[in-house]
Structure 1
Amino acid sequence: MRIALIFVYCYLFVHHGQAQERSFGTLPLINKPGIAASLASKKIDSVQYRKVLNIYNKLVQARGDFRFPVPSFNLITEERRVAGIDYDQLNIVLEEKALGVCNTFGAEADAAIAFLLAHELTHYYEKHAWRRSFAEDNKDLKIGLDLDKVTDAAANETEADYLGGFLAYSAGLGLFQKGSEIIQSLYKAYGLKNDIPGYPSLSDRQALSRRTAEKMASLVDVYDMANLLVATGKYTEAYEYYRYLLLTYQSREIYNNLGVTALLEAMKYFKETELKYRYPIELDLESSAAKGDPTLNMREKLLRQAILHFDAAISLDPNYAPAFLNKANAFALLGDLTRARFYANIEARQASKVGNYPKVDQDIDVLMGIIEARSNNVKGAQALFTKADKAGNALAKINLRVLLKQPPLKEIPAGTLWPQAEKIENLTLDELANDLRVDPKKTVSIKNQLEFLQTPIMGSGSKALVSLIRNDEKTIFHLATSTYTGKTARKIGIGDPRANIVLAYGEPNRSLETPLGQLMVYKNIIFIIGKEGKLERWANYK
């Protein structure tokens, strides 16, 4: 996902001398010495093409920015440029030979393909072409010459690797960290020398690739940390983490999650009797009073702030169903059930179908059930909760019990049945905290007096994530990644179904929905449930 290749912009005029063709990410490979641009390059329609097109479409959907037209994609037989974009035709291409190189990476082949395509898409969405194009069109003027001198192609290429890598990760295509290897493989496949006049050396490109991969991994960890802070109720801190991410990368998910933090913070200002149902608020991975009551003012302010963030997410992608659902949740909490119905049952419902969000569609039923219950339509609420419950929605089951006035399902505390302390890599959280070996290269300053600390990967697949405030207050998560092979104290491991977790730990007192699953938040452990209701990762926390 992140070949951190440093390349120079290039203009080739073909298509009657006018079409502007530019390739990024692999430019020396694109302009292979002695090979000219060809108008007759054959487009491929095959099983391989459809596989790559599927990856490309996932990246476009994950970017979620439909304010701009989406470039088309072609796989071609040409052996000149690896991957590139034609701005006049608005078309991104990948060469068949480059695809063959990606396929040599076995289980990581899709991630390698995603890197090349995400790199090109990032150039497009970040508008990297503008300054060079302006300089070229105005080279007879001093401003054109000055812009040409200050154009930093290396910075753009690094950013395309960095943000392209994050895009591929957010599309569910993995965290690809073999950029230096694929660079070398591409050089070999295209018969290029290690040193090409006018371009960085192969060794420099490989070194920059490794550094960019580290930076990219750090960005992913900041996002994971923000989501975990939300799960544990640290909304103010999480908000700052998301804001930090937005300075680098704007996406519908981040705007959505900013809104979720404001929405959940607002729920702190409700009385318990006002929140007897659990709302299907989706993190993408809570009385009567006199006029002027500051509590009412604060919660309304936060809820309306949340709506603005959800609107920002929707402006990027009008079919992003989670943001419509969360907007409906906000209106329901504001007491505006008419708008809540509209955004849930019409806007969110339509977006969930267009965008293929089956889990969101279930959560819409849950929210509609809450709306019917609050409107004193008990039968309607029961029907909606039952429908979602039969589809496997855990939140529906909880709300159905509330509606029917049945006792709530509870967590199973540690005791004689489960006396062992929770450990990852054979370390309790206290033991980890007492000997916390932070990697200084991974420290990120989120805001004044707020730092994000990390440890290197430990054992078979775990790491510690730390949010530090004013050098004294810490929130620590020991995260078991998807590669971790161990089990929890109650014998739960990666891939286990949600039902097994409930048997061992009970139903959590707190949970948070996601478009694909749920975060199950217990007293000192969080289970991250993904597709098909199976455990993807978990974290001990303190």
Structure 2
Amino acid sequence: MNRNLQNNLKLSTTLILAFISFFSMGQTHTEKQIESVFKNLVLAYGNSKAAPKLAFLNKDTIKTTPALYTTSPQPTIMVDGKFYDLCRSFGKDSTNALAVVLSHELAHYYNDHTFCADFAFVVRKNNAELAQKLKTVSKSDKISRETQADYQGFFYAAIAGYNPFDCYEKTIEGIYKQYQLPETNPGYPSKAERKQMAIAVKQKTSELYLAFQKSIQLKEAKKYDEAMQLLEEINTYFPSRENYNNLGVIKTLSALDLKVLTLEEHKFPKRFLYPLELDNSSRLNYNGTRGAEADLAKMMQLLKSAQKDFEKAISLDPNYTMAFVNLACVFDLLDNPEAAIGKIKELSKEQQNTNEAKRILAIAFYHADNESKADAIWREIEK
């Protein structure tokens, strides 16, 4: 039988067995563990793009890769059940190693890397059509896409609560050994190159993750300019909904420090506490002179920039309720309470009934000269 035909039949059989395994009654403990890590990672990516399907390759078939992202017939990430056995051999790093590979495949999916979807770089041997397409993608392009997938894979695995930094090298070693992969593959990054990529990615991603944590600390310390600088840098690598939302929040908080307080805000500080503030005591106790033309101009600049950040966060995930509430706060601060009310009305009834949504609605109704509605909402919240 023709060798290519044999390989194609093997791949077809593997895919059929994978879906039989996926649709079989009940899940194994291994599948539940993999699915749990997968869901945590999808949540961390926070992308409006629907998550790909998760399927499991039958443990009794011979595989050449621990995980595989395929676009046809629908976006699917297939995982070899035996790969989890390898992960378990790493002890406390078992879920960390699993997260590294799954997050890498998700990065390919969310970045539309159609022809760099195999973690082990060997799927091309099993499919002549795909092999032909892959020839049109240069090695430098493949390395570029793999580096991007490694960057995002590391970062979002860390955001999801895993520690991918210390287990990557042994994960790579284990994969090459278990799946008997050649150390070099013409047109693809070699094992040595993958390790070099990993070292650089690990170092940079670790720095950026520490910067992400530092930005939160700076925000709490009200060092907004420093926090903004860190988040702007992170956004050049990871333009996620959380990063845009955090950036918008910090800009809005910085703008609030320049806001002139009204008599009502002095009398009822809790009622006029914007949902994105932890408290407004520092604003109330501020004794400096506010309202200078330069301050007002800077406040407007910050708010308009924050508006763009929240709108970007919503474009990445139209179901990101927090960004809707924060954007409503910005609209109200921009003296457009009607837009603030309209933004909250875009949410579902359930989402509109959260305390955060009600708080900004009350403030916006008050500023829209509908004090009766505002007072009714405040009384409801204060019960």
State the TM bucket, normalised to the shorter chain. 0.7 to 0.9
Q: Displacement, 1:188? A: 3.7
Question: Is 1:367 aligned with 2:378?
Answer: no
Q: Displacement, 1:365? A: 3.9
Q: Displacement, 1:50? A: 3.3
Query: Aligned match of 1:123 in 105, 108, 117?
Result: 108
Residue in structure 2 matched with residue 247 of structure 1 by the alignment: 236
Question: Is 1:65 aligned with 2:60?
Answer: no
CA distance in 2, matches of 1:263, 1:119: 34
In the TM superposition, what are the counterparts of 1:17-166 in structure 2 within 5 Å? 38-42=14-18, 43-44=21-22, 45-66=27-48, 68-77=49-58, 78=61, 79-89=63-73, 90-129=75-114, 148-149=137-138, 151-166=140-155
CA spacing shift, 1:246–1:350, aligned 2, 3 Å: farther
Question: Is 1:381 aligned with 2:378?
Answer: yes
Q: Displacement, 1:82? A: 0.7
Deviations, residues 57-94 of structure 1 (Å, cap 9, x unaligned): 3322322222x453211111143211011122321111
Q: Which has the higher contact order (CA 8 A, sep 6+)?
A: 2
CA spacing shift, 1:380–1:195, aligned 2, 3 Å: closer
Deviations, residues 90-120 of structure 1 (Å, cap 9, x unaligned): 2111100111212333443322222111101
CA spacing shift, 1:153–1:258, aligned 2, 3 Å: same
CA distance in 2, matches of 1:13, 1:99: 30
CA spacing shift, 1:70–1:200, aligned 2, 3 Å: closer
CA distance in 1, matches of 2:197, 2:98: 19
From the two aligned structures, give the one with the greater helix fraction.
2
Contact kept, 8 Å, 2:338 with 2:364, in 1: the verdict is no
**RMSD of aligned C-alpha atoms?**
3.9
CA distance in 2, matches of 1:298, 1:204: 48
Amino acid at match of 1:344: I
Aligned residues: 337
Gaps of 5+ in 1: 1-11, 18-33, 287-291, 354-360, 387-542
In the TM superposition, what are the counterparts of 1:308-457 in structure 2 within 5 Å? 308-344=308-344, 346-347=346-347, 361-368=354-361, 370-371=363-364, 375=371, 377-378=374-375, 380-386=377-383
Contact kept, 8 Å, 2:97 with 2:164, in 1: the verdict is no
Gaps of 5+ in 2: 118-123, 284-291
Contact kept, 8 Å, 2:116 with 2:142, in 1: the verdict is no
Contact kept, 8 Å, 1:180 with 1:205, in 2: the verdict is no
Amino acid at match of 1:165: F
CA spacing shift, 1:112–1:119, aligned 2, 3 Å: same
Deviations, residues 426-467 of structure 1 (Å, cap 9, x unaligned): xxxxxxxxxxxxxxxxxxxxxxxxxxxxxxxxxxxxxxxxxx
Residue in structure 2 matched with residue 223 of structure 1 by the alignment: 212
In the TM superposition, what are the counterparts of 1:240-319 in structure 2 within 5 Å? 240-273=229-262, 275=265, 276=269, 277-281=272-276, 293=293, 295-319=295-319
TM-score by structure 2 length? 0.73
CA distance in 2, matches of 1:385, 1:364: 14
CA spacing shift, 1:162–1:13, aligned 2, 3 Å: farther
Q: Secondary structure in 2 aligned to 1:40?
A: helix
Amino acid at match of 2:34: V
CA distance in 2, matches of 1:348, 1:263: 25
Q: Displacement, 1:368? A: 4.1
CA distance in 1, matches of 2:130, 2:12: 23
Moved more, 43-52 or 119-128: 43-52
Contact kept, 8 Å, 1:15 with 1:39, in 2: the verdict is no
TM-score by structure 1 length? 0.54
Deviations, residues 2-25 of structure 1 (Å, cap 9, x unaligned): xxxxxxxxxx999989xxxxxxxx
Query: Aligned match of 2:168 in 172, 179, 184?
Result: 179
CA distance in 2, matches of 1:334, 1:13: 66
Contact kept, 8 Å, 1:321 with 1:349, in 2: the verdict is no
CA distance in 1, matches of 2:181, 2:237: 35
CA distance in 1, matches of 2:310, 2:112: 25
- Of all paired residues, the percent bearing the same amino acid is 26
Q: Secondary structure in 2 aligned to 1:151?
A: helix
CA spacing shift, 1:200–1:254, aligned 2, 3 Å: closer
Contact kept, 8 Å, 1:259 with 1:307, in 2: the verdict is yes
Residue in structure 1 matched with residue 287 of structure 2 by the alignment: none
Q: Secondary structure in 2 aligned to 1:65?
A: coil
Q: Displacement, 1:175? A: 4.6
From the two aligned structures, give the one with the greater strand fraction.
1
CA spacing shift, 1:85–1:352, aligned 2, 3 Å: farther
